[in-house]
A and B are shown apart, each in its own frame.
Chain A
Amino acid sequence: MQISKLIVSSVLSVTLFAQVSWGQIASTELVLGSPSAVSSEAKVSQFVAREDVAKAFEEMGVDPKTVELKLASLSDDEINSIASNIDTLPAGGDGGSIIGAIVFIFIVLLITDILGLTKVFNFTRSVR
């Protein structure tokens, strides 16, 4: 919790600083029609969203340094798109499907054991 707050504030201060050094230049975003957080309310909700994502990343086993890297490369829109539903989003990662398949077969056999159609495991008691 503490760490994620630190990370977010450091990332945020970098972005704010970058904006200041740009002076009064009208940004490209205004022309592309996707203005970033300009009002102070929007900035606060952006801050909160970043903090939520940082926390979720930590809970998913990412070390604090990597959380910082990940957050820095995500745009505001991307942060908003995952902040509220990160737990249910798909995460592609299936290089070795064998374990998954074994688990799957295990469950199927368990069900058929319980139904009394098979007797693969010693610990099951059929409903028959």
Chain B
Amino acid sequence: MATRDYLFFLCATAALFILSGCVAKDPLPQGKVYPSTSINVPFISPRQDLCGSTSIQMVAQYWQANRNYSPKLSLQELDQRTLLPLKGGTLQVELVSTARANGLIAYPLEPNFDALLSELSAHHPVIVLINRSYSWYPMWHYIPVNGYDTTRKEFLTHFSDQPNEPIGIKTFAELWKRSEYWGVVLLPPGEIPASATSKKFLRSVYELEKVGMVEEAIRSYQSALMRWPEDSDIHFILGNSYSRVDRLSEAEESYRRFLLRNPNHPLALNNLALLLSKTGRKTEGLALLDNAVSKDPEVQKMLRETREEILKK
């Protein structure tokens, strides 16, 4: 009797899984038309536990062939940085940080099909995290998505040992849903994601700057300025980056452009004052500080210290 119950339970569960696979609706946003795309991403054969590293390598090679970009890490270094031996894989943050160490901007994809298809249309390959199995027996896997076929409703991916393996959109949706639609766009400096918003993109670039790739970051900030000319914050950010690599006249110009739109901004006045005193214009710098007012005690402290430092020189 008990056996029959078990059997019933097994069949019912199986039926539930099969049915839930069948009733999946078309996950694409309604009313939008996306063109078929096929991005020529080089294929690398899979290796046990190293799909994170391999995915980065494939996308990096694509950009190396198509843009002025050269990877900073070898395949061995990518392997070493991405692998957690006892976990048999790569954490999402590690994929992101390793791609960055390789000189790429890692832009977190909005978790939806619209963002994914927009990037593919712009010929930006996207790395997504999927679960090949169910949540009770997870098999996490990173794959580069290289294209979409509108008529067949299939994504093209370097899924396993075949290049450009097609995956039907419904299956893809099931697998991708299990990672809450996690994906990342890896781009060379100067390139901007099709689905990007200005602040989120600037933050991704700043992450690259923080690990020491200032010149690369500057190239991306410059592109950002072309794409979002109305965002004056980019001038401030550029001013800081130029200062960091001693491109002082460009830094000065950037701060001044920012101040044209935000004349009393205490942070920009502070930074420009320091720059002026560094280039022998102490009086002008101190005069700028007179215009800098803030209610924030932290900022007040910063302004005071800057004044003291300039006076000391």
Q: Which residue of B lies closest to A82 (CB)?
A: B93
With beta carbons under 8 angstroms apart, the residue of B81, B89, B267, B302 that contacts A66 is B81
Task: Determine if B237 and A31 form an interchain contact, defined as CB atoms under 8 angstroms apart.
Answer: yes
Q: Bound state CA distance, A81 and B87, in angstroms?
A: 18
Question: How far does the alpha carbon of A6 sit from the alpha carbon of B287 in the complex, in Å?
Answer: 46
Q: Shortest distance in angstroms between A77's beta carbon and chain B's nearest beta carbon?
A: 9
Q: Is A26 an interface residue (CB 8 A)?
A: yes
- Find the residue from A25, A26, A94 having the highest chain B CB count within 10 A: A94
Determine if A95 and B199 form an interchain contact, defined as CB atoms under 8 angstroms apart: no
Contact B90 A25 (CB under 8 A): no
Contact among A27, A69, A90, A95 with B138 in the assembled complex (CB-CB below 8 Å): A90
Contact B48 A69 (CB under 8 A): no
A-B contact count (CB 8 A): 155
Q: From B140, B160, B236, B299, give the contact of A93 (CB < 8 A).
A: B140
B-facing residues in A110-128 (Cβ within 8 Å): 115-117, 127-128
Is B86 in contact with A60, judged by CB distance below 8 angstroms? yes
- Please determine whether B84 and A23 come into contact, CB atoms closer than 8 angstroms: no
Q: Is the CB of B139 within 8 A of A97?
A: yes
- Residues of chain B contacted by A24 (CB below 8 angstroms): 270, 274, 302, 305-306, 309
Contacts A23-B274, A24-B302, A60-B87 given; does A94 touch B6 at CB 8 Å: no
Whether A90 pairs with B274 at a CB distance below 8 angstroms is: no
A1-59 interface (Cβ within 8 A of B): 23-34, 38, 57, 59
Contact status A70-B81, CB under 8 Å: yes
Hey, which chain B residues are within 8 Å of A81, CB to CB? Answer: 93
Choice from A74, A92, A115 contacting B6 with Cβ under 8 Å: A115
Number of B residues contacting the other chain (C-beta, 8 Å)?
71
- Confirm or deny: B216 has a beta carbon within 8 angstroms of a beta carbon on chain A: no
Cross-chain contact of B137 among A32, A33, A104 (Cβ < 8 A): A104
- Assess A31 versus B203: contact at CB under 8 Å? Given A69-B81, A95-B48: no
Q: Which of A26, A73, A90, A104 contacts B271 (CB 8 A)?
A: A26
Assembled-state Cα–Cα distance A73/B101 (Å): 7
Any B CB within 8 A of the CB of A91:
yes
Q: Which residues of A contact B236 (CB under 8 A)?
A: 28, 31
Interface string of B239-274 (1 = CB under 8 A from A): 011010000000000000000000000111011001
A122 → B minimal CB distance (Å): 21
Chain A residue at minimum C-beta to C-beta distance from B141: A94
For A27, list chain B residues within 8 Å (CB): 240
Contact with A along B194-214 (1 / 0, CB 8 A): 000001001100110111000
Contact B96 A92 (CB under 8 A): no
**At the interface, yes or no: A102 with Cβ under 8 Å from chain B?**
no
Looking at the assembled complex, report how far the CB atom of B201 sits from the nearest CB atom of chain A, in whole angstroms.
11
List the B side residues contacting A94 at CB < 8 Å: 49, 51, 89, 132, 139-141
8 pairs, A vs B, C-beta closer than 8 Å: A26-B267, A69-B81, A73-B211, A90-B89, A93-B52, A95-B54, A100-B133, A117-B7
Chain A contact residues, CB within 8 Å of chain B: 23-34, 38, 57, 59-62, 66, 69-70, 72-75, 78, 81-82, 86, 89-97, 100, 104, 115-117, 127-128
Chain B residues with CB under 8 Å of chain A are 2-3, 6-7, 46-52, 54, 80-81, 83-98, 100-101, 129-133, 137-142, 160, 179, 199, 202-203, 206-207, 209-211, 233, 236-237, 240-241, 243, 266-268, 270-271, 274, 298-299, 302, 305-306, 309
Q: Which 3 A-B pairs have the closest CB atoms?
A: A93-B89, A91-B89, A61-B85
Given A89-B92, A94-B132; 14 other pairs, CB 8 A cutoff: A28-B240, A30-B267, A60-B85, A61-B84, A75-B210, A78-B97, A90-B138, A92-B142, A94-B141, A95-B54, A96-B47, A116-B3, A127-B2, A128-B3
